Amino acid sequence: MVNLLILVAMAMSHSGAGRLSLQLQDILSAHIDPKVDPGVDFFRYANGGWFAKNPIPDSESRWGISNLVRDEINEKLRLVSENSVKANAPVGSDVRKVGDFWGTAMDEGRAETVGLAPLKAEMDRIDEIHDLDSLVSCTFDLLRYSASPFYGVYVYQDEKQSGIMAVHLRQGGLGLPNRDYYLDSGQAYTELRKGYVDYLRSLLELLGDKDAQTEATNVMSFETALAGFSRSVQELRDPQANYNRLPTDKLTEQLTPAIDWTARLATLNLHPTYVIVGQPEFFKGLGDLLKTTPIQTLRDYLRVHFLGTFAPYLNKRAEAIDFAFNHQMLLGQKVPQPRWKRVMEAENESIGFVLGRVYVREYFPPSAKRRYEELVGAIRRAFAERIRRLDWMSPATKANALKKLAAMKAMIGYPDVWKDYSKLQIERSSYCENVMNAGRWAFEDMVSKFGKPNDPSEWHMTPQTFDAYYNPSNNQIVLPAGGFVVPGLRDAQIDDAFAFGYAVIGHEITHGFDDQGRHFDSKGNLTDWWTPSDASKFEKRTKALVEQFSAYEPLPGVHINGRATLGENIADYGGLLTDLDAFKTTMAYKKGKKIGGLTPIQRFFLGWNLGWMEQEREPNLRRQLLTVVHSPAKWRVIGPLSNIPDFYLAFHIRPSKPTWRSPSQWVHIW
Ligand SMILES: [Zn+2]
């Protein structure tokens, strides 16, 4: 039996022993552009040195820290994958799965030979649709591929009873990033819509359709109607408004007479007595729309979406159609990424926890885990102190907030229990089939949780991910090992000031108390633990943050959506203040020793900045402004910092400078 550790040893031997000697210069000071005044443009001051030497490559739509970290991790996992191919391990083993996935995916010749054959069975099933009943039956089959035909069916924790796994129905079905892309009348959107119809047409032509232009136009009209009753990004963030519990046997009558939900859910082995419907008006609208849309259009819609979902894993023609719209037009990428990078993303998506287990064993030593456990402890204590000191909150709400904070669980680095992939089939027949199998496996894995108690040890992000999350239903922060990575440095080489600023620990803790998280209690249930007066004071304070961010205009005429990004902006700002308080209790702060010519406090703020060091192409920035709940990188830095007096002091920024906001404008929440 081949041991994964041996594969790592093989991978290590490729990585080159000379790597560490490159790190003589401090990266925080190396990135600075000394010609820029931090009071005029702090983001350019902090990153300008790096930006000047690192323009966005043609194969990318953005370029910065997340790419550097991902590349560093993926280079390691690539070697693990390549060595897994050579290992020829026993069928069914994890090593064999990694080897077969990688070897098959990298084989471009095979992708050309199999063509669209991997989709044939489902395409035939779609072609057989002749009425609403056969349509609905087919969509339930397609749900298994983790694609969302019209809508999504999910099993996850009931927001009001966090110990119970409940069935959720949510809006879906749009091929463009969200409703605004269909409904906005601006010039940029008109062009994108035209490009989208071209994309649909090309896919339908690939399927051999003669009348592809008309079909594509009809599919577009159908999706535009769907967009008309879909909720916006900010509406989807309201946990109360998106929680509508209905008895399963009333769904058909009350929402969609065309869909017999009890019978259909049973085909997925789901027999719930109630269902949580995110957006009831969407399902009503969909029910009406299905009745008035010609069956042929609905068939074409499903065919084109199914093909579109898997196009990146098929032959060159399908890949090219996918690239031209989803990457070139929508994100501004000029050429595709190298194949190995795209395959690595797909492998991470499909069997990421197998790779993650290898990764942390080698690159996240126990000393790093201990260090971040200590940071979490210090930052949690600092947050408790901040709650006690709040001058606007009553003792009753404070007591509940402290109780929630004390109960918050922290998962650091990697899961204690690893996912079992033994039922997942990874073969050597085709790349696309492996991705489809992984999608089906993930769906079955999710559905199988229904009826079982919630498992709070489960991770929803792999350990090698450069990110982190707060799960309100578990009242839990999850901090993957990948989120602590600084490119080119071992963890021990990151000084404390840098680490306290860079790791997003305070940010994730504050999510438990943002405009969304505050509605969940210490046990993860959606209940109101605030006095009415404290709740209204909170709302009033957050309004100032909404106004601050809504005033930023990253693209001409496109402002940040201060309401949609509110939760993230609260977390960024509250998190920074808390991380800073915690850092001030350390020896590194008290000693005040400079590193790379920078004081500890300067390194703290530059550490935060490094987490968002990124430049992006215009289409990608536009997409982010419209669809994502995070403010763009630059404003995640200057937005919260410009409410913090220590920041002004650290970089000697005076009131006359553009970065300065007067103390009367500083927002105070946590
Ligand atoms: Zn966040």
Query: Angle 132-142/295-310 helices, nearest 10 degrees?
Result: 10
Instruction: Report CA(456)–ligand 1 centroid distance (Å).
Output: 20
Q: How far apart are CA 495 and CA 607, in angstroms?
A: 10
What separation in Å is there between the alpha carbon of 512 and the centre of ligand 1? 10
Q: How far apart are the CA of 469 and the centre of ligand 1, in A?
A: 6
Residue of 357, 622, 382, 335 whose CA lies nearest to 500: 382
The closest alpha carbon to 539, from 525, 559, 522, 519, belongs to 519
* Dist CA 486 CA 473 (whole Å): 30
| Cα 157 to middle of ligand 1, angstroms | 20
CA of 99 to the centre of ligand 1 (A): 34
Residues 115, 403: Cα–Cα separation, whole Å:
57
Q: How far apart are CA 468 and CA 456, in angstroms?
A: 16
Q: Are 149 and 143 in contact (CB under 8 A)?
A: yes
Plot region of 85 (φ>0 → left; ψ -120 to 50 → alpha; else → beta): alpha
For residue 514, report the distance from its CA to the centre of ligand 1, in Å: 10
How close is the Cα of 504 to the center of ligand 1, in Å? Answer: 8
Q: Is 311 left (phi over 0), alpha (psi -120 to 50) or beta?
A: alpha
- Going from the Cα of 182 to the center of ligand 1, the distance in angstroms, rounded, reads 27
For residue 505, report the distance from its CA to the centre of ligand 1, in Å: 10
Cβ 512 vs Cβ 574: under 8 Å: no
Residue 60 CA to ligand 1 center (angstroms) comes to 23
User: May I ask the CATH class of domain 119-313?
Assistant: mainly alpha
Ligand 1 centre from 467 Cα, in Å? 9
d(CA 453, CA 473): 13
Residue 48 and residue 33: Cα distance in Å, rounded?
Answer: 5
C-alpha 574 to ligand 1 mean position (Å): 11
Ligand 1 midpoint to CA 568 (Å) = 5
Output the CA 460–ligand 1 centroid distance in Å: 15
Cα–Cα distances (Å) from 460 to 4, 236, 426, 520, 652, in that order, read: 23, 20, 21, 19, 42
Distance 465 CA to ligand 1 centre (A): 14
Q: How far is CA 196 from CA 59, 87, 201, in A?
A: 21, 43, 9
Rounded to whole angstroms, the Cα distance separating 95 from 8 reads 11
Task: Specify the pLDDT at position 369.
Answer: 97
Cα radius of gyration rounded to whole Å, the chain? 25
The answer to whether the CB of 614 falls within 8 A of the CB of 54 is no
Burial class of residue 249 (count of CB atoms within 10 Å of its CB; 0-12, 13-18, 19+):
exposed
Determine the pLDDT at residue 24.
58
Which residue is it, tokens 């915690």? Answer: 582
Phi/psi at 471 (5° precision): -105, 105
Give residue 458's pLDDT.
Answer: 96
What separation in Å is there between the alpha carbon of 507 and the centre of ligand 1? 6
Global model pTM greater than 0.85: yes
Ligand 1 center–CA 477 separation, angstroms: 11
Picking from 240, 241, 231, 266, the residue whose alpha carbon sits closest to that of residue 251 is 266
**Inter-axis angle of helices 600-610 and 42-53, nearest 10:** 60
Q: Where are the domains of the chain?
A: 37-74+343-419+458-665, 119-313
| Distance from residue 501's CA to the centre of ligand 1 (Å) | 15
Ranges of residues in the chain with a pLDDT under 70 are 1-24
Amino acid 466 reads: F
Q: Which CATH class is domain 37-74+343-419+458-665?
A: alpha beta
Q: What is the pLDDT of residue 13?
A: 40
Ligand 1 center to residue 472 CA distance, Å?
12
DSSP H stretches of helix in 553-615: 566-583, 587-591, 600-610
Residue 135 vs residues 8, 149, 488: alpha-carbon distances, Å: 48, 11, 53
How far is the centre of ligand 1, averaged over its atoms, from the C-alpha of 52 (Å)?
Answer: 28
**How far is ligand 1, taken at its centre, from the CA of residue 116, in Å?**
39
Distance from residue 496's CA to the centre of ligand 1 (Å):
22
Residue type at 662 in one-letter notation: S
- Sign of the alpha-carbon torsion through 70, 71, 73, 74: positive
- H or E element, residue 120: helix 120-127
**C-alpha 376 – ligand 1 centre gap (Å):** 16
> Could you tell me which residues come within 8 angstroms of residue 415 by beta carbon, excluding any fewer than 6 positions away?
353, 457, 458, 459, 463
Ligand 1 geometric centre to CA of 385 (Å):
22
Separation between Cα atoms, residue 240 and residue 527, nearest integer Å: 10
Give the containing element (helix H, strand E) for 154: strand 151-158
Centroid of ligand 1 to alpha carbon of 13 (angstroms)? 37
How many Å lie between the centroid of ligand 1 and the Cα of residue 629?
Answer: 9
Q: 397 CA distance to ligand 1 centroid (A)? A: 23
For residues 633 and 612, what is the distance between their CA atoms, to the nearest angstrom?
A: 5
Distance (Å, rounded) from C-alpha 75 to C-alpha 464?
12
Starting at the earlier edge strand, list the strands of the sheet with 476-480: 409-413, 476-480, 469-471
3-state secondary structure 64-80: EHHHHHHHHHHHHHHHH
Ligand 1 centroid to residue 433 C-alpha, Å: 34
Cα 459 to middle of ligand 1, angstroms = 16
Distance from Cα 572 to the centre of ligand 1, integer Å:
7
Q: How close is the Cα of 573 to the center of ligand 1, in Å? A: 11
